[in-house]
A and B are shown apart, each in its own frame.
Chain A
Amino acid sequence: RKEVEQDPGPFNVPEGATVAFNCTYSNSASQSFFWYRQDCRKEPKLLMSVYSSGNEDGRFTAQLNRASQYISLLIRDSKLSDSATYLCVVKGNTPLVFGKGTRLSVIA
């Protein structure tokens, strides 16, 4: 079993739609959780950290359920510029462990 598993995608949604990505992780000792965004042929960039209490940044909401080892990302009112690959990332002692990513295409 992969350490971090994500919805395979791709997700093709119209502008203005709400889309949710899910992720599960296998290492119960994981300490920190993140969503990264990666545009085509570019480097990954931190989108947001994920906390047990849930956190929101504008149109983006991230949730963590430690008991279920499950992480989610909700994007409301999708924009064309949200088109990218979203990587679920888990941190243990030091290195980041990335999921394969879920590709989102927002269509006009």
Chain B
Amino acid sequence: GAGVSQTPSNKVTEKGKYVELRCDPISGHTALYWYRQSLGQGPEFLIYFQGTGAADDSGLPNDRFFAVRPEGSVSTLKIQRTERGDSAVYLCASSPTSEGEQFFGPGTRLTVL
């Protein structure tokens, strides 16, 4: 069956611009997670959705980062006024429940020039 998909696969933007990253979870998975992975590091948690609501957004680094999941399926991670330090791979994962195995998408590689 289809796994987690993320678009775009690569995004190059200029400092100060706004970007949106999209995640399509596995159908029926109620839990959705966003992580960020910088070079040479493990993924770092950003935000977790259970259904439509953000159950835990403690990993968002500052108020330039925001995520939504309006219908409990697709999620969009939004980054305002991008900075060079935002360059990383943004990974999305979904799981059937909050306790289930998390399945990761291929990630979006964001480069801020």
Contacts and interface: CB of A to CB of B under 8 A. Distances in A.
A94 B41 CA distance: 20
B104 A43 contact: yes
A16 interface: no
B101 A46 contact: yes
B56 interface: yes
Contact of B33 (A95, A99, A100): A95
Contacts of B33: 95-96
Contact of B102 (A42, A96, A100): A96
Given A94-B56, A95-B59, A100 B40 contact: yes
B106 interface: yes
Given A42-B106, A43-B105, A95-B48, A100 B41 contact: yes
27 contacts: A42-B106, A43-B91, A43-B104, A43-B105, A43-B107, A44-B91, A44-B104, A45-B104, A87-B42, A87-B43, A93-B56, A94-B48, A94-B56, A95-B45, A95-B48, A95-B56, A96-B35, A96-B43, A96-B102, A97-B45, A98-B35, A98-B43, A98-B44, A100-B40, A100-B41, A101-B41, A101-B42
